Chain A
Amino acid sequence: MIRKKSAKSRPRSTLIVAGLASMTLVLAACGGGSTDSGTSSDGGGGGDSTEVRNAGVIVHAENGEPQSLDPARAEQGEKGERIIDNVYERLVDVGREGPDLIPSLATEVPTLENGLVSEDRLTYTFPLREGVVFHDGTDFTADDVVYSWERIITMNLPEGQAAAIVDSVESMRAVDDFTFEVTIVEPDASFLYSVVLNTVASVVSPEAVEANGGIEADTPSEWMDANMVGTGPYVFGEWKRGESLTMIVNQDYWGENAKSDVRWDVTPEESSRVLALRAGDADIIDISPSNVGDVADVDGVTIFEGGLLLEPIHLGFNMLSDDLPASDTIPTDFFVDKRIRQAFSYAFDYDTYINSFLDGYGARYTAYIPQGVFGYDENAPIYEYDLEKAAELMKQTSYWEDGFVVSVLVQAGEPEFEGVGLLMKDGIELLNPKFRVNVVSQAETQFDDNLGADPVPFALWVKNADPGADPHQFFDPHQHPDGDWGSKHGMRDAYEDPDRIADLIDAGKATVDPADRLEIYSELQQLLYEDPMWVYAAQEGLAYPYRSWLEGFTVNPLWRGPHYEYYTKSNG
C-alpha cells in the first residue's frame, strides 16, 4: 500500500465545491440552499469499448487501498474512509445533492426549531430508526450508538479521528431503545458536520466487535482493521490485499437497496487505470487533473467535473524552530516580521501554479476559507504575484543587505506540493541574488515525522489542509493563536493583535445567526490577509472520468468518495 497511502495516500477527499451556502443553517432549521454538485461533459470521437463489461458490478480502479477499515482508526482523507462511508452509517448523512443534512440512522436531524437541540445548544437528541438490522443479523438500538462512540473514546487512537468525539462530547446516553442523546462541552455551530457526519462516528455492530477481541484501551483492533459489520447499503465482501476489494448489495437494507455490487481494483499506475477505463474494464477511475485530457475524447467516457476540493494547499511559516537545517541562515523569529510574510505572499506566482501544476483544475481561496464553504467572502483581498511589492517590503528589513538562506520542506512524489516549493524558490530568488530558498523533498513517512515533531525542524513547509465543511474547521487549527498550528508555529507572538483574532474565531464557533457569523468571518479574512500566517496557494480541482453506461453518477461535496448505492450499471 503506497501508504499510500497505496499505502497511505495524501488526503484527497472528494469534498468539492457546490453551494454550501446554507451551511449557516446547521442549527437553524437547515433551509434549502441552491445546490449544484457538478457538471458532466460527454466526450466524443474515439473508438474504444462500448460493450458493457462486468455486468452488474461497478468497477472502480483506485490508485491505492485502505490502511484501515476501522472507523476508530481510519485517518482523515485516506481510502478506508471511502469504504466506511458505504458499509457503515452514521446518524445523519448528506444525500445526492446539496449540503443539507438528511436523516440516516436517526429519523430526524436535530435543530433548535424541532426542539431536538436544547436551548443552551449543548444537548442533541436523536430519535432513531426502528427495524434496522446489522449485516450480522443483530438489531440496531440506541445502545449501539453509545457503544460505538464509547469505543472510539476508549481506543482513542491518535492516528484516527478520535479527537472529534473525545474533544467535544461531554456525555451521552440511550434515553430508550430508539432515542440517543449527547451533550457537548460548549456550543458548536459545526457539531453535526464535524462530529456526527465524521466517519469516526459510524455505528458498528457491538456483537461483531465483542466476538473478535472486544475493545482495548489505546490499542488498535486488528480484526476491525480488516473486517466490517455495519448497517449500510453495502455489505463488506472480500479484500484481496494489493489486488481488489468488494462490496455486495445489502438485500436487507432499511432504505432503497443499492443496484449493483462494487469492486475496487487496486491499480497504482495511472496509465493502467486510463487503459482499463478505455477498455471498459473500469467504470470509474481516480485520475490526477493533468491527465484528464487523455480520456476526455474517448467515446463512452464522461467526465464528472466536481469543482474544487475543500482541502486548500498552503505553505506554512514556522516561527518557533530552533533546529533548522544546517544550511539555513535565518534566525528562529525570521517570519515573526509581518513584512517578510507579506513579501513571501507577493512572491508566489499563483496563476502559473494553477495553470501548470494543477493543469487549470484549481482556484484561489481567501485567508482562511476555501471556495464553497460558508463564510467565503469573494470580496476579501487576496495576494497577487507582484515582485516589486515583495522587494519593497524586503528592502525595509536588514535582510536586503545581509541576504538569507531558508529551506522549504515538501513531500516527494507529490507534484502539487513540490510545485509550491519550487515557485516560492523562483519568486524569492528573483528578488535579490542574496536570497536563497532550498526545496527539501522528503518521502511521506519522513515528511510526516518532521511535521509531527514539535517544533517542526523547518521554517517553511507545504501541504494541504484537512477537508472541512464549516469555516471553524479551517480557522481553529490554522489561524487561532492557540490552535494546533497556531501554538506549534508560534503565531501568538507573531500576530499584530492575537487576542482579536482569537476572540473572533471563538465567536465564530459560538455564534448561531448566519448573518452575524458572516460578519465575523469577513473581518477575519481581512485581518488575516494583512497578517498572513500562510501562503494561501490554491484549491485543487476534482474530476472523475466514468463510463457513460453508469447511470446516476454524481459525487456530493460532502461525501468522502463515490456513494455507489446511487449508481446503476446498465447491462448494455
Chain B
Amino acid sequence: MNTSFANSARMVGAALRMLLVLTVLTGVVYPLLVTGIGQAAFQHKANGSLVKVDGKEVGSELIGQNWNLPGTDKPDPKYFQPRPSNSAYDPLSTGSSQLGASDPRLVKRVEAARAQVAAFNAVPESRVPADAVTGSASAIDPDISPAYAGIQIDRVARVNRLPAAQVRRLVRDHTDGRALGFMGEPRVNVLELNIALTKLARH
C-alpha cells in the first residue's frame, strides 16, 4: 500500500512537471512564434484588416456594421444595408438567435423583415432573398448576397442622385466569387461597397 501510494505521488509529481514544460512549449513558445511570423509577414491581416478612409480607421473589412441614420436604429437609405443582426453588429456579443427553423417567433420575425425590406427598397416581397431576412451566425456577417445587393441598387442610386447603371457597375466590381471558383458562396462586402459608394457620390 505504501509503495503504491509513493508510486502514485511520484506519478503526480512527474505529471505536474510535464504539464508545466508543455505549457511553456505550447502556451508560450508556439503562440509567440506564430505571432512573430504573422506580424512580420501579414501585419495588416494579423491586426484585423482595418480599413482607413481619409487616414481614419472606420472599421474592419471582416466585421459587419450597422448603416443607420445617425443616432437612430433606422436604416439610412443612402447606404447598402447589411443582413439582420442578433446583436446590432456589436463584435463583443457574437452569436445568433438560436431559434429553430419552424419556431413561431422566427416566422414572425422573417415576415416583418420581408415586409420591411420590400417596402424600403420598393420591390415586391418575392424578390427579397433569404439572407436579407435571416440573422447570420456571427451577428457580424460582413457580407450580403449579390441578390440582396441587387434589390438595393435603385434605392441607393435614387437617394445618392447617381445613375443606376453606375451603381450597378459598382456592385459588380465589389462582388466576390467563390474562393478558387468553388468554395463558399458569392458575396458582396458591405463596408467596402459603401466606402466606394461614398467616394462616387462625393465626385
Q: Do A and B bind each other?
A: no
